[in-house]
Amino acid sequence: MPLYEYLCEECDTRFERLRPLNAIDDPASCPDGHPAGQRIISIFSAVSKDSSGEPKVTTGGCGGCGGGCTGCACSSN
């Protein structure tokens, strides 16, 4: 299952969720329990990750599929 990044507009927290493809645009609860986190587009999140220095997510990809999912940059590596 692919890993997607979400942003909570209530507390401005970014967090990640494993989601099936048919649920990626559904609101996700943030770690603080706010129910309406919105998915961040992968290219946008990759830039944010790089600038914040977090090593977990690789270039433009979801960082969690190892190249096995479609629609993320991991699959082109």
- Positions that interact with Zn ion (CB under 5 A): 8, 10-11, 30, 32, 34
Is residue 5 a contact partner of residue 13, using CB atoms and an 8 Å limit?
no
**Measured CA angle at 64 (ends 39, 45), to 5 deg:** 40
The CA distance from 37 to 75, in Å, is 26
Cβ-based nearer residue to Zn ion, 3 or 28 = 28
CB of 28 to Zn ion, least distance (A): 10
CB of 72 to Zn ion, least distance (A): 24
CB of 66 to Zn ion, least distance (A): 29
